[in-house]
């Protein structure tokens, strides 16, 4: 009897524990929603108190309207509704903005659950064109804006290529968060180059020479073999770029009269063999298949590697980082060097997702106009300065030349909170005032400028969105090939294994993807 009761007690306690564990999630979300309520009540009271001074700085003299918007916070401490930046943006646009903030990690799940519950705000930031976004757009969850954009001053000027890249079935479902189409360049540690007595590469052989020297010639001079010539991560960043140097297309290319993915090209194999040699020689970091995606950037900061081939804007933040940490490091940024395939560089998508308008919350054209007007005003220079730089004389000061600014450390008006600049679309591309460039920043811009002439675009980028098989199975298909590529490079499969992976890719739906992409291509 005694034994039974002790057991029962323990079991009961375990049950209670598990019940608590189960409650955690729902607890969180109720907290969130109560926070959201507080926000909106704060909103109302503030709106009342400011009615009198509301129209002072606004673009137009009209009764103030309101708009609700959902966006991302990365650190869970989003900017408050009473923050000066928010208030000034509200004054400028003449809109009361009701923010809903969601943590980056939960963002996509949240969109779907809020959509199912019909509680999605009027304007929603969609981080990328994932297949669930595409499905939702097709089902009519967001307004088709194609015919409306022309009516707005800024929104009518969105870059054509960017619009095409965000289009689903040829229709525009949101205002893209426009980004520079060319970001890539090659960043070298200049002091390492000097230490091993080499210059930035002008062709692939010289580049390989540098990789070898950065690995084995102790460029950091600490007497230890602790540097990698080339660092990659489990996302195998940059491998596609390197295959392009050997003549493989960017993503997809034309072969035998139809569009086919890059890995079906013989030139792709050449690129992989080059990488395999680097790995076998110990130049490519051994642990890349398990390294987290930030590994290369972290490695550059931790002085484990001295070459970075990707978004060379990073050099700007490293410049600040090295200066802050007192690390004596210099950098050189160059454009693409000569390769067997000539000078080729992949462009970016030119966008970082888009701001879309939920049909469940915005029912008619009149309200659509209200939302679009707000978004249009957010693209004005004054609004963008608020979003990107903050408040004049609080967050930054205007330089003597009247065109550039100097930022004040720590963004005083924001403090630790974040998320505010996430709703910036910047459709006019750098519509805000910039800081004067340092030596590295100038090189970055020059490299990006030069690389813009070498763009090799992915002809199937947009077409893939129309492939039903890719939407349903895309991430699995991509995983098959990226796994096989890593396995080939580290030598756990050989050429036959690689071909088996391709055969697997084909039967798992790859053949249908090729078919569907080409069907759309020939129809267009």
Residues of this chain that interact with another protein (CB under 8 A) are 2-4, 6-7, 9-11, 14, 19, 22, 26, 108-109, 111-113, 115-116, 130-132, 135-136, 139-141, 234, 236, 286-287, 289-290, 360, 471-476, 479, 482-483, 486-487, 490, 492, 504, 507-508
Cβ distance to another protein smaller for residue 174 or 253: 174
Residue spans of beta strands (DSSP E) within 127-204: 175-178, 184-189
Taking the C-alpha atoms of residue 481 and residue 508, their distance in angstroms, rounded to an integer, is 11
Distance of closest approach, residue 62 Cβ to another protein, in angstroms: 33
Distance of closest approach, residue 170 Cβ to another protein, in angstroms: 20
Rg for the chain (alpha carbons), in Å? 26
Taking the C-alpha atoms of residue 522 and residue 127, their distance in angstroms, rounded to an integer, is 30
Cβ distance to another protein smaller for residue 199 or 222: 222
Taking the C-alpha atoms of residue 1 and residue 39, their distance in angstroms, rounded to an integer, is 56
Record the tokens describing residue 244, joined without a space: 């392009």
Cβ distance to another protein smaller for residue 200 or 474: 474
Taking the C-alpha atoms of residue 226 and residue 304, their distance in angstroms, rounded to an integer, is 7
Distance of closest approach, residue 138 Cβ to another protein, in angstroms: 9
Distance of closest approach, residue 328 Cβ to another protein, in angstroms: 25
Q: 30 CB contacts (<8 Å, ≥6 apart)?
A: none
Distance of closest approach, residue 261 Cβ to another protein, in angstroms: 18
Record the tokens describing residue 217, joined without a space: 């010639």
* H helical segments located in 238-332: 239-245, 266-281, 295-301, 314-325
Residue with tokens 């968060």: 177
Cβ distance to another protein smaller for residue 150 or 290: 290
Distance of closest approach, residue 317 Cβ to another protein, in angstroms: 25
Do the beta carbons of residue 257 and residue 247 sit within 8 Å? no
Number of neighbouring beta carbons within 10 Å of residue 224: 8
Do the beta carbons of residue 158 and residue 325 sit within 8 Å? no
Q: What are phi and psi of 301, to 5 degrees?
A: -70, -35
Do the beta carbons of residue 132 and residue 112 sit within 8 Å? yes
Distance of closest approach, residue 475 Cβ to another protein, in angstroms: 5
Distance of closest approach, residue 116 Cβ to another protein, in angstroms: 5
Cβ distance to another protein smaller for residue 13 or 42: 13
Cβ distance to another protein smaller for residue 140 or 410: 140
Cβ distance to another protein smaller for residue 414 or 484: 484
Distance of closest approach, residue 229 Cβ to another protein, in angstroms: 16
Identify the bridge partners of residue 171 per DSSP, sorted by sequence position: 168
Neighbour-count burial for 415-454, b at 16+ CB within 10 Å, e otherwise: eebbbbbbbbbbbbeebbbeeeeeebbebbbebbebbeeb
Do the beta carbons of residue 192 and residue 329 sit within 8 Å? no
Cβ distance to another protein smaller for residue 320 or 476: 476
Cβ distance to another protein smaller for residue 77 or 475: 475
Cβ distance to another protein smaller for residue 108 or 159: 108
- As to burial, measured by CB atoms within 10 angstroms (0-12 exposed, 13-18 middle, 19+ buried), residue 2 is exposed
Record the tokens describing residue 105, joined without a space: 């990690």
Residue spans of beta strands (DSSP E) within 13-94: 65-73
Distance of closest approach, residue 20 Cβ to another protein, in angstroms: 12
């Amino acid at each position: 009897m005694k034994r039974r009761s002790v057991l029962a007690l323990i079991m009961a306690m375990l049950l209670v524990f598990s019940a608590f564990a189960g409650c955690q999630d729902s607890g969180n979300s109720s907290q969130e929603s109560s926070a959201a309520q507080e926000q909106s009540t704060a909103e109302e009271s503030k709106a009342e108190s400011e009615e009198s001074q509301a129209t002072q700085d606004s673009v137009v003299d009209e009764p103030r309207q309101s708009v609700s918007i959902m966006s991302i916070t990365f650190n869970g401490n989003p900017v408050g509704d009473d923050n000066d930046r928010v208030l000034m943006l509200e004054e400028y646009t003449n809109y009361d903005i009701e923010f809903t903030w969601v943590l980056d990690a939960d963002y996509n799940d949240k969109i779907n659950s809020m959509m199912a519950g019909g509680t999605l705000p009027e304007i929603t930031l969609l981080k990328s064109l994932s297949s669930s976004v595409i499905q939702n757009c097709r089902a009519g969850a967001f307004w088709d804006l194609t015919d409306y954009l022309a009516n707005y001053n800024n929104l009518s000027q969105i870059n054509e290529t960017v619009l095409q890249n965000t289009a689903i079935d040829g229709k525009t479902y949101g205002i893209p968060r426009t980004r520079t189409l060319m970001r890539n360049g090659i960043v070298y540690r200049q002091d390492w180059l000097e230490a091993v007595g080499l210059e930035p590469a002008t062709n692939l052989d010289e580049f390989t020479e540098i990789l070898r020297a950065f690995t084995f010639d102790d460029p950091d001079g600490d007497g230890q073999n602790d540097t990698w010539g080339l660092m990659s991560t489990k996302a195998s960043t940059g491998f596609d770029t390197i295959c392009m140097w050997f003549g493989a297309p960017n993503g997809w290319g034309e072969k035998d009269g139809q569009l086919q993915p890059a890995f079906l090209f013989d030139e792709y194999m050449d690129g992989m063999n080059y990488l395999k040699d680097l790995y076998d020689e110990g130049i490519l970091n051994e642990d890349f298949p398990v390294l987290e995606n930030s590994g290369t950037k972290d490695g550059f900061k931790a002085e484990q590697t001295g070459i970075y081939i990707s978004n060379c804007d990073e050099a700007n933040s490293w410049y600040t980082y090295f200066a802050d940490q007192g690390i004596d490091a210099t950098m050189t940024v160059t454009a693409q060097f000569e390769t067997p395939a000539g000078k080729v560089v992949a462009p970016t998508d030119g966008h970082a997702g888009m701001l879309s308008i939920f049909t469940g919350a915005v029912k008619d054209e009149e309200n659509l106009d209200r939302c679009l007007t707000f978004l249009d005003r957010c693209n004005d220079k004054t609004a963008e300065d608020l979003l990107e730089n903050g408040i004049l004389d609080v967050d930054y000061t205007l330089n003597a030349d009247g065109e550039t600014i100097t930022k004040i450390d720590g963004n005083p008006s924001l403090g630790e909170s974040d998320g505010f600049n996430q709703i910036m679309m910047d459709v006019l591309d750098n519509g805000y005032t910039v800081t004067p460039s340092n030596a590295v920043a100038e090189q970055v811009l020059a490299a990006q400028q030069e690389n813009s002439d070498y763009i090799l675009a992915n002809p199937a980028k947009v077409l893939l969105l129309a492939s039903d098989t890719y939407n349903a199975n895309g991430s699995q298909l991509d995983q098959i090939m990226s796994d096989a590529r890593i396995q080939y490079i580290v030598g756990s499969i050989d050429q036959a294994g690689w071909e088996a992976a391709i055969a697997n890719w084909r039967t798992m739906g790859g053949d249908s993807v090729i078919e569907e992409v080409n069907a759309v291509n020939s129809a267009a």
